[in-house]
Amino acid sequence: MKIHNFSAGPAILPASVIEEAAAAVAEYQGTGLSILEVSHRSKEIVAVMDEARQLVKDLLGLGDDYGVLFLTGGASTQFFMSAMNLLNEDETACYIDTGTWSSKAIKEAKIFGGVNVLASSKDQNYNYIPKDWKVPANTKYLHITTNNTIYGTQFQALPETDSLLVADMSSDIFSRPFDANKVDLIYAGAQKNLGPAGTTLVIVRKEILGKVTRAIPTMLDYQVHIKKDSSFNTPPVYPIFVCLLTLRWIQAQGGLLAMQKQNEKKAALLYDEIDRNPFFSGTTAVEDRSCMNVTFVADSPAHEEAFLAYCTANGISGIKGHRSVGGFRASIYNAMPYESVVYLVELMQNFKPA
C-alpha cells in the first residue's frame, strides 16, 4: 500500500531527491566514498555548499549583501541567536505572538533586551493572525512567524515596518514568492520544505551585524559563520546536500511561482472539502488559513477517533493534529503531490461513521 505522508516534520521530500540522496550514500561523484565520509573541506563538499548558497539567493532574488548560512540547532536555537546578534540590552524588539513557536522566541529574546509583544492571537487559541497593530518608532526589529504549523495560520503578506524585520519561515520558506529584500533576517528549520532535520537555514543582511555591545560566543556569532562559509566547525554535510537537491528540484519545477500555484491548488481542494463535509470543520479564520498546514476537527470525539483509524488503515500517515490542539493537521508542503490531497479528500467523502 502506498503511504501518503502528511507529517508536519520531518516532512515529505520529492521522490527524485530521495533517490539521488540514497545513491550518494552508497558512493559520491566517483570518490569511492559515501557522501557520509567525504571531508567537508574537500572540493566536492565545498562545491555543494557554494551551490546551495547560490540557489537560495537565486530563488529569493537576493544579492551578495546577504549571507546564507547552514547551521545546526534548529529554529529553536535561532530564537535566541537572532536576539543575541541584533538586540542590545537597552533596545526593544517587537514580536507578534501567533503560536507556540513565536511564544518560545519571545521567551528567549527577553534574555537579551526589551521585548514588546505588540499583538497576540492567544485569546482565541491562536486561530487568527492579529491585525491593526503599529510598530513603535524606537523598535530595533519586528519578529514574525510567517506560518504556524500547529494552529494552521499564515501571514498572507509581509508586514510593513520601518524597523528591521526578522522572520521565522521554518514551515513556508520557498513555498511562494515574496520580496526577501524586505526581510533583514530569515531563519528556517530545513525539515519542512527544504530538506531533512539536521540543518537550519539562516539568511541575514550583513550590514545589520556587529552592532551589539555584548560579547558573543564564537559559535553563536553570525559574522563568524559568514566568514567561514558555514564551515567554522564541521557542518551537517548530508542534510545540506539533501537541501541542495531539493533546491535544484524547486528550480526545475519553475521556482517559487510554480510552488505557489501548486500549493494554492492543493489547499483550495482540501479546504473546500472541509467546508462542505458535515463531519468536519476548519479551526482557523478563513482569511488567515495556511497553505502549508491545514487544520480541522471532526464533529465529535468518536468521529475523530474513527476517522484517524480510517486514515491509518488506508495509508494516510501523519495527519493527527498536534498534541496541544488535537483534531487533524494535513501538512501539504511543496513536495506533497496533488494526487495525495485528492486521495485524502476522497477518504473524507467516503467516511461513513457508525
Q: How many whole angstroms separate alpha carbon 286 and alpha carbon 282?
A: 8
* Known active-site residue 192: yes
The answer to whether 201 and 187 have CB atoms below 8 angstroms apart is yes
Which is nearest to 333 in space by CA: 2, 1, 13, 45? 13
The pLDDT mean for the chain works out to 97
Of the pLDDT bands very low, low, confident and very high (cuts 50, 70, 90), residue 189 is very high
Q: How many whole angstroms separate alpha carbon 354 and alpha carbon 344?
A: 20
Catalytic residue among 101, 140, 172, 266: 101
Per-residue pLDDT of 64-86, as tens digits, reads 999 999 999 999 999 999 999 99
Give DSSP secondary structure letters for 37-79. TS-TTSHHHHHHHHHHHHHHHHHHT--TTEEEEEESSHHHHHH
Write the single-letter amino acid at 280: F
The Cα angle at residue 271 between residues 270 and 276, in degrees rounded to 5: 100
Mean pLDDT for 203-219 is 98
| pLDDT > 90? residue 324 | no
Residue 284 carries which DSSP code?
S
CATH value of 255-350 in 1.10.3720.10, 3.90.1150.10, 3.90.1310.10, 3.90.950.20: 3.90.1150.10
* Known active-site residue 249: no
The answer to whether 329 and 193 have CB atoms below 8 angstroms apart is no
Find all residues with CB under 8 Å of 309, minimum gap 6, and list them.
none
Ramachandran class of 34: left when φ > 0, alpha when ψ lies in -120 to 50, beta otherwise: beta
Report the C-alpha dihedral over residues 153, 159, 164, 165, rounded to 10 degrees.
20
Domain edges within the chain? 15-253, 255-350
Q: How many whole angstroms separate alpha carbon 272 and alpha carbon 342?
A: 12
Does the predicted model carry a pTM greater than 0.85?
A: yes
CB atoms within 10 A of CB 103: 17
Catalytic residue among 97, 172, 184, 192: 192
Per-residue pLDDT of 143-177, as tens digits, reads 999 999 999 999 999 999 999 999 999 999 999 99
Q: Is the dihedral of CA 236, 255, 202, 209 positive or negative?
A: positive
Per-residue pLDDT of 95-151, as tens digits, reads 999 999 999 999 999 999 999 999 999 999 999 999 999 999 999 999 999 999 999
* Known active-site residue 132: no
Start-to-end Cα distance in the chain: 25
Write the single-letter amino acid at 237: V
Q: Which three cell numbers stand for residue 215?
A: 560579547
> What is the architecture, at CATH level 2, of domain 15-253?
3-Layer(aba) Sandwich (3.40)
Q: How many whole angstroms separate alpha carbon 108 and alpha carbon 168?
A: 14
HSE on the CB side for 116, CA within 13 Å? 16
Q: Which three cell numbers stand for residue 178?
A: 515574496
How remote is the C-alpha of 240 from its chain's centroid? 15
Q: Which three cell numbers stand for residue 297?
A: 476537527
